[in-house]
Structure formats: structure tokens, C-alpha cells
Amino acid sequence: MAQVPQTFFDALAVRTWCGLALTALGRAREEIDAINVFPVADGDTGTNLYLTMESAVTAVEAVFAAHEMGPGTPEKPTLADTTHAMAHGALIGAQGNSGTILAQLLRGMAQVLAADGETPHTDGSGLRLALRQAADSARQAVAHPVEGTVLSVASAAADAAEGAEGDCGTVARAAYEGARTALAETPGQLAVLDRAGVVDAGGRGLVAVLAALVETFTGETPGAVVVFGGHARVEADTAAAADSVAVEECAPSPDSPEEGGPAYEVIYLLEADDAAVARLRARLDALGDSLVVVGGDGLWNVHVHVDDAGAAVEAGVEAGRPYRIRITHFGLGDVHTTGAERPPRERAQRAVVAVVPGEGLAGLYTEAGATIVLARPGEPPASGELVEAVRRAHAREVVLLPNDADLRHTAAAAAEQARAEGIRVALIPTRSAVQGIAALAVHEPERRFDEDVVSMTSAAGATRYAEVEVAERQSWTMAGICQAGDVLGLIDGDVAVIGSDVTATAEAVLDRMLSAGGELVTLVLGDDAPDSVTTRLEARVREAYLAVDTVVYRGGRQGALLLIGVE
């Protein structure tokens, strides 16, 4: 970038550093993915670090763009402006365990660099303090810190920086050298790294970020760490060497066993106060492992590995307002879940990505093997979130279930973007989560892709859907005029019944749907619906429709009081 080298750590230096770090992580992404064996051997550490830094860069660039568009002569953003943006962008965009920790490292630095709020820049002493705060805050964010990980590398960088006297360039180079040395020692600290013959992937990513910091202040690219059978050395100070990792010699041994662990990764942003988050930490710590909670000032990023994804989300609901919930199933046969041999790094052949309206259904869909995007009431996901979910599914073929008529165009845009990236995507225009459940029930990954899509589409299309909800205002409907507070029964998107009682309205809706026949009734109960409604509907089916089965699910906070599907 044309702005390097920088003399002081100011707004422009933050922008330069973030840009260089993103470039460095982009070049090293595949190599870092390839040495990812801890805490889960899922081969995505490099990608997660890159996406987290990309979010930070986007936020910083937005600050500069806002100043350039202001009235009069553009003013350069302050150091506080840019570091706050960097930390916030990383926080809301953090991906995976490694990305969440990187977000906290950047937040720790911002806490020092933006403490004054008015200081235009800082020098070497300020950078030393920032690196120390970064390492300490990241360690505090992890429930059970493990040595031989990115935490060890960050602490070593801060220790080395504290012993350096001089300008920002001197301090940055000392931090980089300390991190590089600590990275080479990680196989001796963590048995799984030693068995695989690799250094820690997260630590390798942090070394790349610190190398970008050195380049920001000196204009020079420091040498790279290359791993050979668990030992490290430094290449020459060239850009090519800085990007290289000896993948062919540091790839994990295929017969290296890994300890078992939880089956799901759960990540969400959370709006909550400090006291609620403290309780959340204790609850999630009892549910699983790899717990990292980062953030502050009312906004947090929560990451945990658990067997009960629904319970992890419910804990967030009790603590505050979770959103951007991402639940990833590590997969059958995964080294993390079975302790068997490590799976190949290749993409899965096929996956299902689904938008679901409530936390309860999130657990149901993930148990069926789907990658989910949670759509909270009034907060439909953007196409970018759907694209990211398709990428997370890490498959050559993806079936996309929008489960909402209003999301059809958004899902179509996401599918086109994913296809441009080489992923084969089929969009099934499901208009309700109950249609998505029907599609998942007949999903068979072993079939030819076209046959599987046709079967899922047929099952979804054969499922009539209904919702029972409360009217928010007076309005004209297909069933007449409704008043605010009336209970509405919508069948296939149109109001068919207007009533005053939830149970009676739901029963009327169900009778209308079953009048045309049916074999299976699916009921998804929202948090605000009375428990008695499903009891009454099940009894109604038993009494009047002898050949029809009923299945009931808890949907959580899904917007509608009740979802009904009839197949």
C-alpha cells in the first residue's frame, strides 16, 4: 500500500495495517487451513481469520469514506475513530474460534489506543501497552486457556514488545520476533500439534498479522515461519517467503487420533449486560468446550462447541438478545466427534442450507444435518448472510431452503453469488419452515443431485402451510376486516380465519386444511402460544381424522404463535 511506512500509530496506520493484514491472511489462508488440527480439525482457521479481518477492514474503510463525504474539507478520522471501527467490525464479523479470539485481540488494542479519544497518534510506548492489553484480554475471554495456541503466541509477542525500546517499528518487529519464536514452540506445548507435525494454525495467523504490523511501520516484510516435522525456521525476508508454509511436510498425519468432543459449533452476537454475560459463561461452560466470549459495552460475540445446540442458544436468549446465530454440525465421522482418523480436507459432496424462524427449529434442522441461518422476527437475513452460510456448509452441491416467500429474491441472489464461486446450488422455493421440514425428511445425499432436488421440491410442494398470529393493526383481509389484537389464521399466506381465541382459531384452520385430505400434521409452537393449543389440536386429529399422524415441535421465538403443516 502506498501509505507505508508509517512513523506513528495513527488513523492512517490503522487503515494500512488492516489492509496489509487482510492481504497477508488472504495469501496464507489455504496454508493455515491445512494445518488446522486444534481445537477442531475442520480446516477453516485461515478462512475464519481472513473473514474476521475482512469485516474489520470494511468497518475502517467506512469510517474513512464517511469523513471524505462530509461537508467542506475532508478531515482525517481520529485514532479513536478507526480503532473503534476496527474492533467493532471484527467483533460483529468474527468467525470460528480463531476469528473470535482475533476480534478480542483487536478490541484489547483499541481499548488502549482509543482510551483518550483525542490523541491523534501514539508512539512505541503506546503500542507496547496495546499489545499487552490485547494478549491479556484475549486470554481472559477464553474459558479454559490452553498453552501452545494463539494465546501463547500473543502473550509472547506482548512480552517481547515490553522489552523493546524505540519507535513503533522497533516495537512491532520485537513483537513479531517474539510471536515467531513462540509459534515454533507450540508443538512442544500441545500434543495434538506434535503428533501432526504442525504449529498452531491460529498462532500462525497471528504471526501473519504481526508481520503486516512490521511492514506498516518499516516498509519491510519479515521472514516467514516454515514448519518441518514440528520444528520451525525462518525464510529470507521476501514477500514470497512471508506467504509460504511447507504444506507438504506439515500436513497432519492421517492416522493421528484426536480426542472426542461436542458435535456442534454455535456462534452468535448477543446484546446483554455484564452480569447476564457472567451467568451465560458459567452455563455454556457446563454445556461444552472451546468457550470464548468477547466484547463489552452491551455487545458480545459468543462461541462454543456443544452437543446440544438448542440449549446453547436458549442460554443466550435468557441472557439477552442473540442474533446472527450460526450453528455448524462438525459432521458424522469427524475426528472431533468420533476420535477416529482425520477426514479428508475436501469439500463434502452435498449440504442443505436453511433459513429457520426460531431457536427451537434451529436445533431440529441442525440435527438433520443442515447448516442454518436464524431469521428473527422483523430481521430477515441479507443475501450476504446466506452466501456465508453456503460457504460454511463447505460442499460442492448445496440445496438452499429460504422457508419464507419474502426471502425468495434474497435467496436467488445468494444462489447466484455462490454459483459464481463454483458451488452448484439448487434453490427450492419453500415458503414456510414446515415445508422445509418436509423437504429435509426426504433428503438423501447419496442420490444424484437432480433427483434429490426433485424429491425435496415435491415434498415441500405437497405440504400446505398455515400460521396463527395476532393482528397488529386494523386491516382488510381475504376473510374480512380484522382489528388489532384479533387472532388470524393464514393458510398458504392468505388470511382464512379471524377469531378471538388462539386455540379455536387454530382448530378452525386445521379443519380447513384437512378437509382436502392429509397424512401428517406438523405443529410448531411458538414461545407466546398457550401450551393447551397443541394438546387440543392433537386430540382433534385423533377424534376426527383417524388416518392422520401428528408431530409437535417447539419453535422458540419464531414470530408466529403457531405454524401448521399438512402433508
Backbone angles phi, psi at 523, to 5 degrees: -115, 125
Give 447-481 pLDDT, tens digit per residue. 899 899 999 999 999 999 999 999 888 888 888 89
Kindly give, in sequence order, each residue whose CB lies less than 8 Å from that of residue 218, ignoring residues fewer than 6 positions away.
5, 169, 172, 173
From CA 244, how far away is CA 450, in angstroms rounded? 40
DSSP string, 353-397: EEEESSHHHHHHHHHTT-EEEE-BTTBPPPHHHHHHHHHHHTEEE
From CA 218, how far away is CA 216, in angstroms rounded? 6
**Cis peptide before 39, with omega less than 30 degrees from 0?**
yes
From CA 338, how far away is CA 280, in angstroms rounded? 28
Pick out the chain residues at pLDDT < 50. Answer: 1-3, 73, 227-259, 332-345
- The alpha carbon dihedral of 526, 532, 536, 539 has a sign of positive
Q: Within 10 A of 528 (CB to CB), how many other CB atoms are there?
A: 14
Which triple of cell numbers denotes residue 213?
Answer: 504490523
Helices (H) and strands (E) in the chain, counts: 21, 20
Which triple of cell numbers denotes residue 6?
Answer: 508509517
Backbone angles phi, psi at 339, to 5 degrees: 75, 10
What residue has cell string 503500542?
127
- CA 390, chain centre distance (Å): 12
3-state secondary structure 505-542: HHHHHHHHHHCCCCCEEEEEEECCCCCHHHHHHHHHHH
DSSP code for 462: T
